[in-house]
Amino acid sequence: MKIGILSLAHLHAEAYIDNVRAVPGVELMGLADEDPARAEHFARQSGTPHFASYAHLLAARPDAVLVCSENARHRPLVEQAAAAGVHVLCEKPLATRVEDARAMVAACQQAGVTLMTAFPMRFSTPLLEIKKLLDAGHLGQVYACNSTNQGECPAHLRAWFVDPELAGGGALTDHIVHLADVLRWYLHSEVTEVYATANRILYGAEVTVETGGLVLLTFASGAIASIDCSWSKPPYYPTWGGLKLDLITEKGLVTVDAFKQVLTVYRQQQQRPAWAYWGSDANQAMIDEFVAAIRAQRPPAVTGEDGLRAVEIVAAAYRSVHSGQPEKL
């Protein structure tokens, strides 16, 4: 199987290069980027061929591609790949507008190609253990969830993350989707109402998108959940952030930390400690699933529709921020 990468704009693409190469029987055939300097840099750094354009890469007939462009530029790349009969794993959020996400899902369905959304938390070993407990009925009914997906402001990693046109927003766009998807997966239930608030207290005038956010979700099952999606980790914190949940259930309370499997490392030449992660690689498991689904000609564990549902929740959160009222879905 041959896989290409369309755009290296998203920082996750750097890890995906090694993840693709680690899958038996898969060749990373090359990458393309509308920024020639960026394409050249990553091609040289990773020893990967690069193509002059996205069209040139697709003309070389890959079996699948990873779309890792800026959030607002996902749709044209996914539609180009679908038109070429190429399967797609698209970085999250699937799109910055609900209508774009719907169009992407429709294009892939009409072309008969796989569309998978990059939600690696579905493949996190700690989160999977809780999923097993829930599905086996050991925790009973879920009443409520308190969750956090915080991080640093990513502007220093990729400037476009704080560009409202390219990113689609700030902390709400960046960090609601992971937990919204995990909660839908855990509860087997859809969100019916979203209530959100956001501000730009953190980082001051230098950032023009929201940097703090709190979202309250109501599910059809009756469960309620909160998501702290803020870019609130300070620059001296050991890592970019994390993802945690407290589930209040019929049979007790369970707490899960998706990034607990770490060693704290102190180095004299570094100004802050760092976390060395020793746990399983959720990104690798996600890429493995993408390849396995294509080979078996079956839907992936995370679909384009899952990505669409998350985009709908983010859109409702922004409507709520502007209206000051809960928004129905």
Average pLDDT over the chain reads: 96
Answer whether residue 322 is part of any domain.
yes
Residue 105, classed as helix, strand or coil, is: helix
Question: Is the domain of 132 the same as that of 45?
Answer: no
Last residue of a domain, one of 113, 148, 168: 113
pLDDT above 80 (res 269): no
Q: Rounded mean pLDDT of 36-52?
A: 95
Question: Is the domain of 132 the same as that of 66?
Answer: no
Answer whether residue 286 is part of any domain.
no
Write out the residue range of the structural domain in which residue 184 sits. 121-281+302-328
Answer whether residue 95 is part of any domain.
yes
Least confident of 13-22, 71-80, 193-202, 228-237: 228-237
Q: How far is Cα 168 from Cα 49, in angstroms, rounded to an integer?
A: 31
Element (H, E) at 194: strand 191-199
Answer whether residue 291 is part of any domain.
no
**pTM here?**
0.96
Q: How far is Cα 290 from Cα 120, in angstroms, rounded to an integer?
A: 11
CA angle 280-89-281, nearest 5°?
5
Answer whether residue 54 is part of any domain.
yes
Question: Is the domain of 321 the same as that of 220?
Answer: yes
pLDDT band at residue 235 using 50, 70 and 90 as cut-offs: confident
pLDDT above 90 (res 270): no
Q: Rounded mean pLDDT of 46-72?
A: 97
User: Are 50 and 30 contacting, i.e. CB atoms less than 8 angstroms apart?
Assistant: yes
pLDDT band at residue 206 using 50, 70 and 90 as cut-offs: confident
pLDDT band at residue 240 using 50, 70 and 90 as cut-offs: confident
Question: Is the domain of 141 the same as that of 224?
Answer: yes
Contact residues for 121 (Cβ-Cβ < 8 A; gap 6+): 127, 178, 179, 181, 182, 243, 258, 282
Question: Is the domain of 309 the same as that of 191?
Answer: yes
Q: Rounded mean pLDDT of 101-111?
A: 98
User: Are 99 and 109 contacting, i.e. CB atoms less than 8 angstroms apart?
Assistant: no
Domain total of the chain:
2
pLDDT at 261: 86
Q: How far is Cα 299 from Cα 207, in angstroms, rounded to an integer?
A: 39
CB neighbourhood size of 42 (10 A):
18
pLDDT at 62: 98
Question: Is the domain of 243 the same as that of 126?
Answer: yes
Question: Is the domain of 81 the same as that of 167?
Answer: no
Q: Rounded mean pLDDT of 65-86?
A: 98
Question: Is the domain of 185 the same as that of 319?
Answer: yes
Q: CATH number, domain at 250? A: 3.30.360.10
Question: Is the domain of 185 the same as that of 256?
Answer: yes
